[in-house]
Structure 1
Amino acid sequence: MGAERESVIGGGAVGTACALDLSVDAHVHTGFAAGRDAVGVVVSAADRAGLTALTFADQAGPDTTWLTAYSDAVRRARHRTEMNLRVAAEVEVVRSDGWLALPADLAPLDALSVAVSCLPAGGELLTPREVRARLDAGLMDASQVAELLVAATVKGVERASRYVPSQLARPLALLGQAGLDDSAVTPALIADLAAACRATGTVVEVSEAWRSPSPRVVEMLLDAAVTVVPASDARYAAEVGRWQYLRRV
């Protein structure tokens, strides 16, 4: 079945059904940063997969100098496809107040994809391995990690949305990397996250590559009327618009 005819049915706003449109891929990488292939190669692969929309979201930060060339490459590709192509950048939350490691110039971007790969805690930025070590030493517990992670995520999307439309990349994936189940994230915390996404218009990515968020969290977000989209997080063109986890969600 072609991607343009596929969907995954989940909970929607209360009392309704909502489908994830698998003809959309909301997060792909290219050779400009974490990926391996040129923009044109990725677009061709997306066309073959039957996609109708594609968001480029390469990792960027304060030292990034290639955003103009990146956006120019995507805009040139628009002349060779009927797909809707968007230019975004994946940026990291680096402080508990939601401070983002932003590129100097956001003008070339249509969106920001917000990621929390390390945990802001007490003025430090902890890697998943460091979080695990603190859990093992009894210096933190699962509920504290979940609260800190959701708080930083909420503040991050609030800050990003001030500049351009925002997306949330692989939400809560840090928990699994630190060896925690997302059951540590209470319904109240998910409600806080959902409220922030609704208030800021933030779209939540369901990542194929990271298997995040879990079906439980996706259902809760959909029930809270949050917009949720498929995201391959593809680093190779052959991975674009190819869904396995999304079909199981």
Structure 2
Amino acid sequence: MGAERESVIGSGALGTVGALDLTVDAHVHTGFAAGRDAVGVVVSAADQVGLTALTFADQAGPDTTWLTAYADAVRRARHRTELKLRVAAEVEVVRPDGWLALPPDLAQLDALSVAVSALPLGDELLDAREIRARVDAGVLSAEQVAEVLVRVTVSGIERASRYVTSQLARPLALLAQSGIEDTVVSPALVGELATACRSTGTVVEISEAWRSPSARMVQLFRDAAVTVVPASDARYAAEVGRWQYLRRV
């Protein structure tokens, strides 16, 4: 079934009944960073599966020098397609206060996709293996990890939204990578994250590649009237707009 005929039915964003539009892909990569294909190749693949909108969200940071060329490539592609194309960058939260590893020039961007790939704890950034080791050693509890993760995520999207439209990449995926079930995320913490998303206008990406967030969390976000969007997180053009996980959740 082509993307132009697909939807996931459920309670829609803003508390209304509706469908999640699978003709939109809110996070794709290109050869400028983590991807493998040129912007034009990705756009052609999106056209072929019937998408109507595409957000380029290559990974960027303080040392990134290619944003102008990247944005120019997307702007040129707009003249060759009817798809709505947006220029974004995926950026990491790197401090407990939500400090972001931002590229030097945000003027090129339509949006920031905020990710937490390591846990900022004091002066450290703990990857999934280090988190697991500390939980196993009793230094951290799973509940403490969840609390810190949610709080830094909230701070990160609040900071990002000061600059440009924000979206949340693969929310809470670090828990699963650390072997922690997201059931440790209490209703109060879910409420904090949902409130932050609504107040900042942040949309939550449902990532096909990362299988994140879980079906449980997707439902909690939707029940809390948080806007959720499909995101392939595609690194290859052939993965753009191809939904399997999203249809299950």
Offset of residue 13 of structure 1: 5.9
Are 2:209 and 1:212 aligned?
A: no
Q: Which residue pairs with 2:138 in the alignment?
A: 138
Offset of residue 18 of structure 1: 3.3
Are 2:181 and 1:181 aligned?
A: yes
Q: CA separation in 1, counterparts of 2:100 and 2:67?
A: 17
Q: CA separation in 2, counterparts of 1:32 and 1:14?
A: 35
Q: TM-score, normalised by structure 1?
A: 0.98
Offset of residue 5 of structure 1: 1.9
Query: Equivalent residues in 2 for 1:230-241 (5 A)?
Result: 230-241=230-241
Q: Which residue pairs with 1:161 in the alignment?
A: 161
CA contact (8 A) 2:13 2:227 kept: no
Q: CA separation in 1, counterparts of 2:15 and 2:115?
A: 31
Q: CA separation in 1, counterparts of 2:200 and 2:63?
A: 27
Q: Which residue pairs with 1:66 in the alignment?
A: 66
Offset of residue 187 of structure 1: 1.3
Offset of residue 15 of structure 1: 6.7
Secondary structure of the 2:46 match is helix
Unaligned stretches of 5+ residues in structure 1:
none
Secondary structure of the 1:80 match is coil
Query: Equivalent residues in 2 for 1:41-190 (5 A)?
Result: 41-190=41-190
CA 1:13–1:205: 2 relative to 1, 3 Å: closer
CA 1:106–1:14: 2 relative to 1, 3 Å: closer
After the TM superposition, which of the residue ranges 205-214 and 114-123 deviates more from structure 2?
A: 114-123
Q: CA separation in 2, counterparts of 1:109 and 1:167?
A: 13
Q: CA separation in 2, counterparts of 1:119 and 1:102?
A: 17
Q: Which amino acid aligns with 1:190?
A: V
Pairwise CA RMSD? 1.1
Unaligned stretches of 5+ residues in structure 2:
none
CA contact (8 A) 1:12 1:224 kept: no
**How many equivalent pairs are there?**
249
Q: CA separation in 1, counterparts of 2:215 and 2:18?
A: 14
CA 1:3–1:79: 2 relative to 1, 3 Å: same
Q: TM-score, normalised by structure 2?
A: 0.98
Q: Cα deviation per residue 1:200-234 (whole Å; 9 max; x = unaligned)?
A: 00010000000000111111111111110000000
After the TM superposition, which of the residue ranges 3-12 and 127-136 deviates more from structure 2?
A: 3-12
CA contact (8 A) 1:18 1:222 kept: no
Are 2:10 and 1:7 aligned?
A: no
Q: Which residue pairs with 1:244 in the alignment?
A: 244
Q: Which amino acid aligns with 2:224?
A: A
Offset of residue 96 of structure 1: 0.6
